Amino acid sequence: MRVTIFGSGYVGLVTGACLAEAGNHVMCVDVDADKIERLNRGEVPIHEPGLDALIKRNAEAGRLQFTTDAVVGVKHGLFQVIAVGTPPDEDGSADLRHVLAVARTIGQHIDEYRVVITKSTVPVGTADKVRAALGETLTARGQAVEFDVVSNPEFLKEGAAIADFMKPDRVIVGTDNPRVTELMRLLYEPFTRNHDRLIVMDIRSSELTKYAANAMLATKISFMNELANMAERFGADIERVRIGIGSDPRIGYSFIYPGAGYGGSCFPKDVQALERSAGSMDYDAQLLTAVEAVNRRQKEVLFRKMQRHFGGKLRGRTIALWGLAFKPNTDDMREAPSRVLMEALWAEGAKVRAFDPIAVSETQRIYGDRADLVLCESANAALEGADALAIVTEWSEFRSPDYEHIKSQLKQPVIFDGRNLYDPSFLTRLGFTYYGIGRGATPPA
């Protein structure tokens, strides 16, 4: 099949590469000429395990192309996939300017039947706006060309996106036309062959499903962090509690790990957007408001623990920070807890020596050169001369460190563990002062 994807960001590139890998002919269109030039040189602008090789293989095979020419893109594909960004507006609602701009672009150049797919994460009712924008553009041209609009939200986890696309848990299709259902089934058939994972519903339900999924996961995280903060005050260990409640199959173990708060491009943005969408319908989504509030507060927990440990005297201190990305296996720093921690430390006159296996370059891009930030080439290098160590991202290489080496490099043997990677009792026996999240014996923040 021939597929055109508007937007060569995270969702667009993963979707395009995976569809091409299944034998489809995919054309990715983007207004960023520099990005397209880089992609045509074989440079992938985002980090996602396995994506570089997938793009290279399919580009060389002629199944994956990159262009800035929207006219060629509209002519190319039966399927016109909208995968552009929907950044939060000033009030937290989703900004649909890019989505609707693509719809008008398709309307300006369409001359035969097309299936227009919204894959961007968008509020309920966006498909209606896309249909209206496209139809108005056709009317202005004096043309009557048939098209259908489909909601097909993505459920890709950063760091595991290729596996998520190739072996999906589900493929949600929102449509009001049975013919489109069959076309979408054919498009996804290579990825759902062992059993049918296509779930067809009306368009508005499909649009809400994406927001509902992310809001549910964010709620589990915030709820667990709320429990962790209570556990510290009760003298309980949240890790024992986590195992106790996770054994209940109605709850399960996924997304009940306490920590320093969630970040990334999806959860913060989508929870806010869903809350604002509810408000636009005169509904006060109190639970979503609380989820946001708890997460904002949780990102400050490590800093408050440091303030208490050092008696409020952080000026002149140096903190070693392991982990900058919002989660492992990505370089994404959007809404990352590390940013909140570093900026709070800098405001108090402290310095940071930081290491991340992948996100160092992204951190440099965001903050540039500054005297109170040293970006290190290894975890051990970050320890040199630091007053304490903070764990912010749960990269695998941080799970079993050389504790004696850590102790020898720090001015004080103090660890602030924002991901509960370590055993408090074991570290205490080794002579460390240990602060986890909800670990009972540690003083609450």
Q: Which residue has the tokens 């004696």?
A: 404
What is the reported pLDDT for 437?
Answer: 97
- For residue 442, the model assigns a pLDDT of 55
Cα–Cα distance, 104 to 85 (Å, whole number): 16
pLDDT in tens, the chain (445 residues): 999 999 999 999 999 999 999 999 999 999 999 999 999 999 999 899 999 999 999 999 999 999 999 999 999 999 999 999 988 777 778 889 999 999 999 999 999 999 999 999 899 999 999 999 999 999 999 999 999 999 999 999 999 999 999 999 999 999 999 999 999 999 999 999 877 899 999 999 999 999 999 999 999 999 999 999 999 999 999 999 999 999 999 999 999 999 999 999 889 999 999 999 999 999 999 999 999 999 999 999 999 999 999 999 999 999 999 999 999 999 999 999 999 999 999 999 999 999 999 999 999 999 999 999 999 999 999 999 999 999 999 999 999 999 999 999 999 999 999 999 999 999 999 999 999 999 985 555 5
pTM assigned to the model: 0.91
**Which residue matches tokens 């173990």?**
253
Q: Given the DSSP bridges, would you call strands 114-118 and 79-82 parallel, antiparallel or unpaired?
A: parallel
- Nearest CA among 425, 374, 424, 383 for reference residue 402: 383
- Exposure letters 335-367 (e unless 16+ CB within 10 A, then b): bbbbbbbbebbbebebbbbbbbbbbbebbeeeb
Neighbours of 384 (CB within 10 A): 13
Closest-CA residue to 210 (of 253, 173, 167): 173
Using CA atoms, how far apart are residues 209 and 217, in angstroms rounded to an integer?
12
Backbone phi, psi, residue 46, to 5° = -125, 160
Residue 441's pLDDT is 59
DSSP of 415-436: EEETT--S-HHHHHHTT-EEE-
Phi and psi at residue 257, in whole multiples of 5°? -95, 120
Closest to 357 in 3D by CA, of 338, 342, 375, 339: 375
The H or E element spanning position 198 is: strand 198-201
Q: Establish whether 28 is a catalytic residue.
A: no
- Helix runs in 329-423, H state only: 337-347, 360-367, 379-383, 403-409
Integer CA distances (angstroms), 112 to 4, 24, 30, 74, 123, in order: 14, 20, 22, 10, 28
Residue 445 has a pLDDT of 59
The answer to whether residues 147 and 112 touch, using CB atoms and an 8 Å cutoff, is no
In the block, tokens 């290729």 appear at 162
Buried residues in 266-290 as b, exposed as e (16+ CB within 10 A): bbbbbbbbbbbbbbeeeeebeebee
User: What is the spatial order of strands in the sheet that 171-174 belongs to?
Assistant: 64-67, 25-29, 2-6, 79-82, 114-118, 147-151, 171-174, 198-201
